[in-house]
Amino acid sequence: MNFDKVIFGFFIILALTLNFGFFLGEYENPEHHRSYEFFGVIVVNFIATLLKLGDRSQIGAILLASSLVADLQLIAAAVYWGVAVHVNETGLTPEVMSSIVSLSGGALLANIISVIILISDTLMSRR
């Protein structure tokens, strides 16, 4: 067992599970999608990206790419959230909330891909 791999796997899988938790619920209902949860998703995703930096192998490149996609989607959702609440002051109407949740759904997909690559790489090395 390798301690590096434990930390690495932990954050990548945590990014996925938190993201899934946020995504779960009625997609128009702000009650089901908490801002703290969303904040947690973003932070863990950033940590996962940071851990993926520096890998020179092909698989490392794909892992990093999928993480960057997730980050991009989450940042877009966060900016939209902030603008809707504080700039336009429309508040979390069903339209706004559904946009935010669908953006986080995209990030969820990128995180799923990340985890699949991680697991298949581990299985391929067979040790």
- Looking up tokens 């619920």 gives 25
Q: Tell me, rounded to whole angstroms, the distance of Cα 49 from its chain centroid.
A: 10
56 binds another protein (CB under 8 A): yes
Q: Which of 24, 39, 43, 50 binds another protein (CB under 8 A)?
A: 50
Nearest approach in angstroms of CB 54 to another protein is: 3
Q: Which of 54, 87, 88, 89 binds another protein (CB under 8 A)?
A: 54
55 binds another protein (CB under 8 A): yes
123 binds another protein (CB under 8 A): no
Q: What is the DSSP string of 13-78?
A: HHHHHHHHHHH-S-TT-GGGS-HHHHHHHHHHHHHHHHHHTT--SHHHHHHHHHHHHHHHHHHHHH
Choice between 66 and 104, CB closer to another protein = 66
Q: Residue 32, Cβ neighbours under 10 Å: how many?
A: 15
Burial class, 99, CB count within 10 angstroms (exposed 0-12 / middle 13-18 / buried 19+): middle
Choice between 11 and 81, CB closer to another protein = 11
Residues 59-78 within binding reach of another protein (CB under 8 A): 60
52 binds another protein (CB under 8 A): yes
Q: Which residues bind another protein (CB under 8 A)?
A: 2, 4-5, 7-8, 50-57, 60, 125-127
